[in-house]
Every structure is written in C-alpha cells, then in structure tokens.
Amino acid sequence: MKPAHQPLLPGATLGVMGGGQLGRMFVHAAQQAGYFTAVLDPDADSPAGRVSHHHVHSDYLDGDGLARLSRLADAITTEFENVPSRALASLAGDVPVSPSADAVAIAQDRIREKAHFVKCGVACAPYAVIETADHLAAVADDLLPGILKTATLGYDGKGQQRVATRGELGAGWVDAGQVPCVLEKRLALGYECSVIVARGHDGQAVNYGPQRNLHRDGILAVTEAHGEALPPEIARRAVDAALAIAHGLNYVGVLCVEFFVLAGGELVVNEMAPRPHNSGHYTIDACDLSQFDLQVRTLAGLPLVAPRQHSPAIMLNLLGELWLAKGSKPSDPPWAQVLALPGAQLHLYGKLEPRPGRKMGHLNITGASVAEVRATAARAAALLGLPSPLAAA
C-alpha cells in the first residue's frame, strides 16, 4: 500500500470517485495547485472526467476500474455521498482514502447518522426508526405530523414524504417499499443554515463562517454568506456542533453539516454531507481558500490554515429550468446581461443536457457591502426569471 499520512506534494496524482460538478471543481483546484488528477465515473461525458488528466470510465464497484484508479492515484477522495462505501473500503487497501469508508457509510444512512449526532451531543429533530411493522406500530403519536425519510439514497428532497396521520404514515412506508426509514417530527422552521469544516489527518480542523440557505422544492436555491446572515450566538453554536460531529467521526476531508433554526431560535442538526457542498460554492470567489482548495489540502496532507472571507457573497443555484424557460428547445439564459453586473461570477459545470431540477451551474455575487451584494443578486435573479433571493434575508 502507498504510505498514508505522508504529505503529497504537487506533482502527485489525486484521485476522486465521482465525475459530477463537485469533482470537476476539485479537479480544477488540484490542477491549479500543481497536481495531476484521476477521476472514476461511469459516464464517459462526466463533467469532471472531461477536464481530468485521467478518466477511468468504470462502474463504482467494478474491480478492474478500482484497481486502475488505485494504480494511478496517490490518494483518493469522493465527490458525492452515494459512492458505495465498500468501493472506498476496497480502495483503502491499496491507497490512502479520505474521508474513510466508514464515515461515508454513516452519512449514507440516516439511522446511523442520527445516532452519531446524538452520540456527539448535537440536538436533532425528535425521530423514530421504522424498520419493521412493529416499529411502525410503536411510533409515538407526538411525532405526527412528520416527515418520513428513507434511510438511504435520499438527497435534494428525494425519498421524503410529509405524513400527518397514522394512516398516511403507514401508506407512506408501503409506498417507500417498506425499506428502513426515519420519521422526523415536523418542526416550525425559521430558516436553514450550514457549516463547512475541513479536518486533517492530525485532527486539526478549520471552518468557514455559517451560511444561511434557502431551499425551493427540496433543492438549494440561495446561499447568503456574510456577517449579517445569522445571529452571532446561533452562528457560534452551529460551528461548535459541526466541529463536534467532525471530531466524533475522526473525519478527514471536507464535511458540510446542515442545520434547521427553529422559529424560537433553537438549533437542530438536519444532515451531513461527506464532501464539499453546494452551499459552499461562494468560497471560490469570496474567500482566499475555497472549499475545494481545502479538499485538496486534506487529501494531500498539507497544512490547514483558516480560510478568510474577503467579500460578502450570495450564491444563486442555476437549474436546468433556466435553459428551458422559452419552450422545450434549450436556449441560453441572458449571460451577457447578467455578467454586466458588478461582482457577478458565473460557474457552469459542463453538463450537456439541461433538465428540470438538474444543477447546471451557479452564480456567485460578491461586493463591498451586504447591501450591494443583495441588490446585485436581486437584479441578477430578475434577469434570470428567478424568485427574489432576498427571501433568504
């Protein structure tokens, strides 16, 4: 096995499981720092695969593909949480892998994830595990109305159902295929936020300030990142909780922890993502080190320094609907008008086919003040036909 925890200097090859937009931005950051890159993804036209030095065109569990990636790469990470954890475990027999297969497996399973939050002393919504008919019958009445979530393979609002009565709960579990689920009590939400942490092999951890997030139809739409986004006490508690979760996992890599802030100001954890996150894309333009720069550093075993945010920022998520607004034939949004706005930085992911709900890119807005950034973001949203981003304010 290649030696673990030894710093990998520029000129080494960093591998990534997954070829989506997060892998693409990781590849760009690694290449900028002087590394070679290798991507494993089953899509021959994957966004990351098309910009990497090496693209292993393979299924995630294909033995030959995994062997080839382990020969190419000096260390390997992942760009999305549903890469099979057993593939990461297999790779770890030959090459350092971070985050670990076990950390990813915990993030892939809401039951294990919630147990980890509780172990770390971080509050989450009241919940019940439903794996059998007996579990279903034993659900406490005060957990309804609630949200029924499949334990695995849920993201961007998928695998979730609102249930108000015991009848709806039973029907929802049947609709889900009677797979293991978690029922969460529906709470009165004020807003959502997230914290991005980077933690190294030596246990050192750094983080960005919490960002405030607005979701529409279960998909992140707007992130605000600046000193006015959250009350200071809630921001402090969110950072403390995210660090406790990362340390409790003995985590290595970039981790995003998402929270709900309840109407009364209580903070509860929602879920974690063992990778860079959509809500951290603003760091590319608003900080001296992006979340992808930190992903490179944690994977390569390089020193971690606290990132500094130099500008207030708002990120607008760009979904496939923008290309389909004028009919079934795709047409480009008005980029020339959008890019005429001060502080507007466009990031497109190289995806060839726009589809409703598909993340095609994001727009970062930076400026000298929060008021300036909010005004520019509102103008950009109007040009793109998006709802006002100031709903997040």
Model pLDDT, residue 327? 72
Q: How confident is the model at residue 370 (pLDDT cuts 50, 70, 90)?
A: very high
Reported as a single tens digit per residue, the pLDDT across 185-226 is: 999 999 999 999 999 999 999 999 999 999 998 899 999 999
Query: What integer pLDDT is reported at residue 218 of this predicted model?
Result: 86
Residue 156: pLDDT band (50, 70, 90) is: low
| pLDDT-derived band at 67, boundaries 50, 70, 90 | very high
User: What is the value of pTM for the model shown?
Assistant: 0.95
6: confidence class by pLDDT, cuts 50, 70, 90:
confident
Q: Which residue ranges form the domains of the chain, and what is each CATH number?
A: 13-97 (3.40.50.20), 126-185 (3.30.1490.20), 189-392 (3.30.470.20)
* Spatial CA neighbour of 357 closest among 217, 180, 155, 149: 217
Q: Phi and psi (nearest 5°) for 137? A: -65, -25
Residues above pLDDT 70, as percent of the chain: 97
pLDDT at 392 over 70: no
Joined tokens for residue 315: 């990120």
Tell me the Ramachandran region of residue 153: left when phi exceeds 0, alpha when psi lies from -120 to 50, beta otherwise: left
Kindly calculate the radius of gyration of the chain based on its CA atoms and give it in whole angstroms.
21
* Tens digit of each residue's pLDDT (9 = 90 or more) over 99-124: 999 999 999 999 999 999 999 999 99
Q: What is the pLDDT of residue 81?
A: 83
Instruction: Label residue 326 by pLDDT band (50, 70, 90).
Output: confident
Strand 36-41 relative to strand 54-57, pairing: parallel
